[in-house]
Each structure stands twice: as structure tokens, then as C-alpha cells.
Amino acid sequence: MKRKTVTRLLSLGLSVALTLACLSGCGNAAQTAAPAGDDAAPAAAADAGDTADADAGETEVAAGDIVDFTFFGGMPGVEINSGNNEIQDIIAQKTGVRLKETWLTGQTVAEAIGSIIASGTYPDLIDGGDGCVDLYNEGVLVAWDEYLESGKYPNLTNYYTPAEWDQFRQDDGKIYWCNVFQNTKGEPTGTAHNDEAFWVQARVLEWDNYPEIKTLDQYFDLLERYAAANPKTQDANGNEMDVIPYTCLCDDWRYFCIENAPQFLDGYPNDGSVIVDFDGKAPTIVDYNTTPTAKEYFKKLNEEYQKGIVDKDFGTQKYDDYITKLSNGNVLGMCDQYWDFQQINDALRTSGLEEQGCNFVPLGLTIREGMENRWHTYGDTLNVASGIAVTTSCSDPDLAFSFLNAMLDQDIHNLRFWGVEGVDYLVDDDGLFYRTDEIRKNISDPKYRADHLCFYSYLPQYGGTSDDGINANLPEEQPSEFFNGLAAPMQKCFTAYGAKTYPDLIGSVKEDVNETHPWFPMWSYSNNLDTSTPGGVAWTKMGETKHEWLPKVVMSSNFDSEWENYMKAYAECKPEDFLNQMQEELDRRIAAKEAQ
């Protein structure tokens, strides 16, 4: 039965129950780290199951009792050899569940979720991305509340504070999904930049003797000079290719790669859909699409397109085309979120292109030199707009929640992200996990990943520090492993700039965004807008207009005229309706924070 829109109920009883569950759910199933292994070469991958089983010391679920659940992720992904994957089998023996993952292919997320709803056939677990609200409105998601309050799943209950869980509540006052990213346990390690930036290949910086690049003009000047001096490059097979100095992505929802840079160039953090200006005044919503910086930024792209610096196919390329170009090593720079292209690092390692300096380095650019930048977000970002959900088609919701709870047990978390001790990582005398070059090569190999590794990457997970107080929960956040795992050109680049981490390279203002910007991020609200409100209607039209007009603005032979036409079309969307609704939400968030 489809769900009717009702008045939102912030149920005090549910909140109190969840608070009590958090207080009582102190039993943590995480185990202490296994004793350090010796430094011998890792065992063959075929021995992975035996290695882990010997260390586990736990009762295993019999093969005939393992339940196969299905999962759909509303984003592109790489399927593993489900049912024939070594770590997946180990996790199944521990949890009683094997999860068959499928991912978005050949459709937008809206099309995929629409097709699933039309079919009436749902997977057991789903992350619908921007389609989560559509699934909720169809009434096909299981409410989490009774499970969180039961005390049976303490890892899930304690994954967020009661106040944070409350932010996931929908119009009926209940919780239906959980976002699994940006959640730090223990001390943060701070090596990664999973956010947006202007990126440039390490070899381009080395060619110019590691210059200080602070502004958009300096960035494109560097790309122009390098491309003029090095117009050709070679792919992994030695085939000659033209360099593409700069590309950008306009495909589907990923058009943020071209449209939202103005907020960062003006020194603001990633509120995603708006700027929140609070310099010397009450926090106020500002439309970054119409600022002087927005016009200057798109005029710069237009100039570079006319020079042949911007990829001539940027406006029509699909995501897969984009990833292929980045993996080939002939794209010098782009603006993107790291998570959107990070998979190319494995391709660059496997092909040997990383040794040629084809990995990308993030730069924290501003429109003028001397401005502060906030490209990097310090502190966790709570995204309540989407996440992992259990559907009403799941035959055993209790088992599903038990499985999600187990994903946060430290031993299973280690299996997912570090792998099998002695095979995928070694442990030194101080208990520190590390990898050899041989192991890193295995980890990057597509077949090894499909047959052996099982990240369950869209299930609950932690960043920060393991329960042992020594190791990072994610290998890429282990400071020593992070630097040692970089290719030589990247290590040389980091050293040249005196940097140990990606945030060091970017140089953003070091502030806990949750303290300095208590409304952050505003995109967690705008991502769930629909056409039921004037603001939602405007938001939809604004997106459609930007999709249509921004590539034309960049490619136009008469920028000023085309920009004026774009602004007229944009004004017809009534963006003021959207901005007013965002201001109401901003005011609500500030009031809620002050009331805590």
C-alpha cells in the first residue's frame, strides 16, 4: 500500500527508547587483534579460508544454513564472483548470510528505481540513492525503529547518536535507512580527501618543478603550458594519444562536476546546492549559480574550450567514457569528487601508468589568491537523504539486521577492508598492519578482487581507528600504508610540497564543520526535494535548465550573449521558491541545534 504524506511526527517516545537502547547496548562484539604474524611472504590466496578459520575461534554457520540475500545499489559498482569469493564465504560462515550485489548499469538511478517499483519485485536490501524517498512513498521499506530499540543490534544502535538517528526520520516519524559513510570511530587518521577538488596529474606538477597553484587562472595556465610542451602521450600499450588538458562530466546527476565549483572558488564548504553566507550576519542562503564568481568561472571554461584545452566531447560523454579516459592516462586535469573516480587508481597501477605520474593530485583553488578555501571537510558529514534499507520483500528482516549489525564487528570489518591476515596484510611486532608491494599489486588486480576480496562497500562501515587503538579501519587511512602505497611520482610530489596527506596538499581551513556550520550539509535536504512544493518544482526545473544550458555556455562562440540567455531561462525556473524553502530549512536546523 502506498504511503500517504502525513504531518511529520518527531516522536518523543521513539527518541527516548532509542536513547535507552544506546545506553544499554554497550556489549561490543569486536575482538582484539590477532597476534602478529611473521614477515614471510603471504600464503597463496587459495589458503585464505583456512587462515581465517584457524584464527576465528568461532562457531561457523553450516553451508546448508547460509541464507542468500540480494542487494541493489543505485550507483555503478563492480560485481564480485558471488558464491565463489573467498572472503565473502568467510563472512557468510560467520554471519549466516551471503549477499549478492548488483549495481546500476545503463540507466539513471531514477530510471532504475522506477523500473524496480513498476516490477513490484524488490531485493532484500537496497540503497536507492536519490530514489530512497520514492521507495519510502511506495511503502516497501522496513522501519528500523523496533530493531534499533530492541537491544539485539548494539552496533547499529550505537552507529549514530539518538539525535543523529532522529534526523533520518521520515514524515511518519520512523527511520527507514542508514547512511554508511562519513562515520568515524576512535581517532580520525585524516589521510584521505574523499571530497571535491580541481585535480591535476602528478607528472604535470613535476614538469613545472612543483609550483604553487592557488587560483583557477594559475591552474589553467599550467595545463596550457604543459599541453603545449607535451601534446602527445602513450597509453599502457605504448600507443600514442593526444593529451586532453581538461575534461569535465555532465552526465546525469554527476553534472555537479561542472556546476558547483563556484561555491568552493568563493571559499565556502560543500553545502552542495546553495551557499550559506554568515560572515557578520545571520546565516543566509545564497544562490551560487548567479554569483559574479559563477560567471567568471564559466567564462574561463569557455575561453579554455575555445583554445582547445577543454575536452571537445565533455558535454556528451557518459560516465563510463569519462572513467576510461582518466584510466588511459591522457587527461591532465578535471574537477570532481574523489569517490567518483577513485577506481581508476587500480587501473593505473595494473597498467603501470602510475609510475609515469598519471595519478591525480588535489588542489584547493579559489577565484583570487589569498582567500581561504574549504574544499576539504574536517569532521563527519551526516547525509540523511539516502542509505542502506531493508525491503518488505526480505523474508527474514531479523537476520538482515543481524547481518548489518555484524558488518560493524571489528573482525568482520577487518576482513572486508583489510582482507585476510597473512594474505592481504601483515602485522609488525607493534601490531601495526602493513602491506608489501606484492600484496598491493594483488589488491589492485581485477580478478583477485572479484575472486577474493569482499568489501560490501555500501553496508555499514567506520573510518577512524580500530578497536585495537593502533590501526585504521580503512587501509587507505593508515598513515604509513597510505604513503608507502603511493607510486613513486606521488611520493615525490608529496615530499616536494611537504605533505603527508591529501588534506595537507589542499590546505583547507582546519575546522570541525559540524561546530562552525551546524546546518551542514544543506544538500542532505535538497537531495530529497520532490515536486510536491513550489521549492521542489523550482529545484527540478533548475537542474533541468543547468543540464541543458551549461554545456552550451561553455561551448558558445559568444559567451556573454549565451550567458544572458542562460540567466533568462534560469530565472524562469523561479529559483527564489527553492531558495526560500532552503532558507526555511536552514533556520529550522539552526533552531534545532540551539535547542540541544
Q: What is the pLDDT of residues 547-594, one digit of tens each?
A: 999 999 999 999 999 999 999 999 999 999 999 999 999 999 999 888
374-405: b (≥16 Cβ within 10 Å) or e: bbbbbbbbbbbbbbbbbbeebeebebbbbbbb
Task: List all residues 6 or more positions away from 118 whose beta carbon is below 8 Å from its beta carbon.
Answer: none
pLDDT given at position 50: 45
Instruction: Report, as an integer, the average pLDDT of 157-166.
Output: 95
Whole-number Å distance between alpha carbons of 365 and 221:
13
For residue 27, name the pLDDT band (cuts at 50, 70, 90): very low
For residue 26, name the pLDDT band (cuts at 50, 70, 90): very low
The DSSP code for 62 is P
Residue whose C-alpha cell reads 576465528 in the numeric block: 56
Residue whose C-alpha cell reads 610540497 in the numeric block: 497
Reply yes or no on whether the pLDDT at 530 is more than 70. Answer: yes
Compare 33 and 119 and report the one with higher pLDDT.
119
Nearest to 301 by CA among 290, 286, 312, 317: 312
Instruction: Report, as an integer, the average pLDDT of 463-483.
Output: 94
pLDDT given at position 38: 34
Instruction: Report, as an integer, the average pLDDT of 447-459.
Output: 97
| β pairing state of 232-234 and 240-242 | antiparallel
Q: What are phi and psi of 170, to 5 degrees?
A: -95, -170
Is the previous residue joined to 521 through a cis bond, with omega within 30 degrees of 0?
yes
pTM of the predicted protein model: 0.81
What percentage of the chain exceeds 70 in pLDDT? 90
Residue whose C-alpha cell reads 526545473 in the numeric block: 541
Q: What is the pLDDT of residues 206-216, one digit of tens each?
A: 999 999 999 99
Nearest to 316 by CA among 241, 397, 255: 255
326: helix, strand or coil: helix
Whole-number Å distance between alpha carbons of 536 and 582:
10
For residue 104, name the pLDDT band (cuts at 50, 70, 90): very high
Average pLDDT of the residues of the chain: 90
Nearest to 321 by CA among 247, 232, 394, 421: 247
Q: What are phi and psi of 286, to 5 degrees?
A: -130, 140
**CATH classification code of 12-189+381-482:** 3.40.190.10
Residue whose C-alpha cell reads 571530497 in the numeric block: 195
CATH 3.40.190.10 domain locations along the chain: 12-189+381-482, 196-375+486-516
pLDDT given at position 285: 97
Reply yes or no on whether the pLDDT at 45 is more than 60. Answer: no
Nearest to 124 by CA among 455, 413, 401: 401
Reply yes or no on whether the pLDDT at 155 is more than 90. Answer: yes
Reply yes or no on whether the pLDDT at 19 is more than 90. Answer: no
Reply yes or no on whether the pLDDT at 65 is more than 90. Answer: yes
* Alpha helices, DSSP H, located in 182-291: 202-207, 216-229, 256-259, 261-265
Q: What is the pLDDT of residues 275-328, one digit of tens each?
A: 999 887 899 999 999 999 999 999 999 999 999 999 999 999 999 999 999 999
Whole-number Å distance between alpha carbons of 522 and 582:
8
Amino acid at 180: V
**For the chain, the helix, strand and coil percentages under 3-state DSSP, each to the nearest 5:** 45, 10, 45
pLDDT given at position 32: 31
Reply yes or no on whether the pLDDT at 79 is more than 80. Answer: yes
For residue 43, name the pLDDT band (cuts at 50, 70, 90): very low
pLDDT given at position 280: 75
pLDDT given at position 58: 61
Amino acid at 177: W
C-alpha cell at 443: 589488491
State whether the Cα torsion 377-382-383-385 is positive or negative: negative
Residue 172: left (phi > 0), alpha (psi -120 to 50), or beta?
Answer: alpha
pLDDT given at position 188: 85
pLDDT given at position 595: 84
Q: Class of the 196-375+486-516 domain?
A: alpha beta
